[in-house]
Structure 1
Amino acid sequence: MNHSIYSADRSTHLKIVVMALVAGIAVAGFSVLARTTSDEGYTQTARVIKAGKPVAITSATTSTVR
């Protein structure tokens, strides 16, 4: 086995690629398995907001309805 990446042969490059692939799969698998909470309590529902009468806000204490 060569200790320099520049003079490494084909099998050394293949070993590096395989180890990087295995490490990437291990990290992805661990991150999926480490998730402990479920999404059941965090569902969102759509709320309908109906428009009311238009109001113009001024610096005065009263509001003007148009």
Structure 2
Amino acid sequence: MNHSIYSADRTTHLKIVVVALVAGIAVAGFGISARSTDDGYTQTARVMKAGKAVTMTSSDTAVVR
């Protein structure tokens, strides 16, 4: 058994790559399965409509045009 990555042979490198791929697939699979689409926290677009234009005068009374 090689304890250094620099002196490791080809099968040791292959084992490391396989373990990393399996771990990556497991993490991705867990992330996809943990996502819920019907959790009640979905965001919806809310439309705000503009009202009538208002101009402020020097006497601080609102004039609606």
User: Shorter-normalised TM-score: what interval?
Assistant: 0.5 to 0.7
Contact 2:55–2:63 (8 Å) recurs in 1: yes
The C-alpha deviation readout for 1:8-54, integer Å capped at 9, x for no partner, is: 11111111111011001101111111234526772524525235314
Q: What residue number does 1:6 align with? A: 6
Normalising by structure 2, we get a TM-score of 0.64
3-state DSSP of counterpart to 1:42: coil
Q: What residue number does 1:62 align with? A: 61
In structure 1, C-alpha distance between the alignment counterparts of 2:46 and 2:52, rounded to whole Å: 19
In structure 1, C-alpha distance between the alignment counterparts of 2:61 and 2:26, rounded to whole Å: 64
CA RMSD of aligned residues (A): 3.2
Identity among equivalent positions (%) equals: 54
Structure 1 residue ranges without an equivalent (≥5) = none
Query: Is 1:53 aligned to residue 53 of structure 2?
Result: yes
